[in-house]
Amino acid sequence: MNVVGWVLQIVLAVAFLASGGMKVAKPKPALVSAGMGWAEDFSDGAIKAIGLIEVIGAVGLILPWLLGVAPALTPLAAVGLALVMAGAVVVHIRRKEQFAPALVLGLLSLVLAVIRFAS
């Protein structure tokens, strides 16, 4: 089960680091033109905050478990990211956009949380 946990941790960390990093680094108009239409409904600060939460969550998925320092933070980071994705699903449904990627990332985050809480 440890291998499954590590695979999920790495895949999710890469996904959230890339997604969050893009939200932090790019201006709102660039995100909208890149296909993130939902960004129109949020302020620049809110978009940057969401991106920062995703980046911090990605780090929280890897470092505590890897270093053995406060490893309980890893499943908590996974739960936090699942909550962020639940919000994303709601936003995408309200805008009548595709919500499957956010749903999958959220569910995988919950699976990881269960695996790591059990370890």
User: Tell me: the pLDDT tens digits for 37-66?
Assistant: 999 999 999 999 999 999 999 999 999 999
Confidence of residue 67 (pLDDT cuts 50, 70, 90): very high
Predicted pLDDT of residue 85: 98
Can you give the pLDDT at residue 60? Answer: 97
Out of 12-16, 17-21, 115-119, which region has the weakest mean confidence (pLDDT)?
Answer: 115-119
Task: Please give the DSSP secondary-structure letter assigned to residue 105.
Answer: H
**How far separated are the first and last CA of the chain, in Å rounded?**
9
| pTM score, whole prediction | 0.94
Q: Quick check: 95 and 38 in contact, CB under 8 A? A: yes
**CA-based angle 79:46:90, to the nearest 5?**
55
> Pick from 59, 56, 19: which is nearest to 39 by CA?
19
Q: Round to whole Å and give the CA distance between 23 and 103.
A: 19
Is residue 27 within 8 A of residue 47, CB to CB? The reply is no
Q: Is the pLDDT of residue 110 over 90?
A: yes
- Say yes or no to pLDDT of 1 above 80: no
- Mean residue pLDDT across the chain: 96
